[in-house]
Amino acid sequence: MDFVLNEDQEALESSVRRFLMTEMTPELIRELWHTPTGRSDALWQMIAAQGLTAVSVPETHDGLGLGEVEWSLLAQTYGYFAGPEPLLDTALVAVGLLDGLPASEARDALLRDIAAGSARVAIAHPVNPYVADAHVAQVLLAGRDGELHWLTPHACRLNALESVDPSRRLFELDWTPCAATRVASRETAAPLLAGALDRGAFAVAAQLLGLTQRVLDVAIDYSAQRKQFGKPIGSYQALKHLLADVAIRYEFARPVVYRAACAIADNDPQRALYVSHAKLAATAAAQLAARHAMQVHGAIGYTWELDLQIFMKRIWALANSWGDTTFHKARVAAALIEDRAPMGPARTFELES
């Protein structure tokens, strides 16, 4: 498997990183916590102007026609800056769902609106008990009893819920399915919902990778500045070990996430296995990073004033999004044990067809 990224992919990621470094600041995130929606239409338009909302939209619908491999970089970068907007749910997961539906005037118009940045889409998937960003969505795509439904905001009632992360706005949906809202029957919806689950879990895994790197960078910076007994605390061996453990876990998780991106892009038969592996590896790395960063900071790490809380809370929130650890361990076990997947030392050097 070749994980080498080309110059165009790296240039796109570098451009997005420069934009987010300037616009997606911790100060802005804190400001949005105190707004009614927690979202910024101006920021969303700037994100669209960078082409991020159009990444996965087909070129026939004014998009860039790119795929999950590009998102493996972009989602990491978005996670690094703790982007609060529903970019991945709209521009990756929703676009994948819409692309699988039969062409229609409403579907084609929505794809163009997503590419242009004039529409956000919320996803109500059976694996997620609550729906993120339903309050700012122009359309909600909801799975119910194996079917896929297309809802408009006035077709359902939103019950707001508290989240550990102030940037995540979660809701329970109160709605009644009917023939008018149904866009895919059980048979047609099954592969669409399965694809949405894999894209959603992959998007979370990539964001968790970015958050791991951000928390590690914050801890390294603090350990270099904070002094004890006249020396930076980062010079002590115990702290070096904590940070090295995180760096190692991150490096082991990164190729796993890239493999999941390739599996989705190629519609690999073992896609679910690779995606769940990526979600587990990225979650473990991010949670370890959060624990060790808190240990490096000591008691001050618990205070509201430090930006560390922004990234830690996002890690805690995303860890159970699009399937928790138990769910993904079960998927891995099912793939390895029941399907007898061709994995292990005996298969290491087999050439791929």
DSSP letters spanning 104-121: -HHHHHHHHHHHHT---E
Q: Which residues of 159-183 are buried (b: 16+ CB within 10 A; e: fewer)?
A: eeeebebbbbbbbebebeeeeebeb
Provide the pLDDT for residue 339. Answer: 58
CB 88 within 8 A of CB 78: yes
Q: Which residues belong to CATH 1.10.540.10 in the chain?
A: 7-187
Q: Which residues pair with 158 in a beta bridge?
A: 173
Residues 122-181 pLDDT 10s: 999 999 999 999 999 999 999 999 999 999 988 899 999 999 999 999 999 999 999 999
Q: Which two tokens stand for residue 143?
A: 């799975």
The position carrying tokens 């070749």 is 2
Q: Which tokens belong to 35? A: 């707004």
User: CATH number of the domain at 7-187, out of 1.10.540.10, 2.40.110.10, 2.60.15.10, 1.10.1060.10?
Assistant: 1.10.540.10
Intervals of CATH 1.20.140.10 along the chain: 191-347
Query: Residue 219 has which token pair?
Result: 């801890």
Low-confidence ranges of the chain (pLDDT < 70): 1-3, 227, 233-236, 338-353
The amino acid occupying position 266 is D
Q: Spelled out in words, what is the top-level CATH class assigned to the domain 191-347?
A: mainly alpha
For residue 295 the two structure tokens come to: 């240990």
Q: How far apart are CA 60 and CA 43, in angstroms?
A: 26
Q: Are 283 and 253 in contact (CB under 8 A)?
A: no
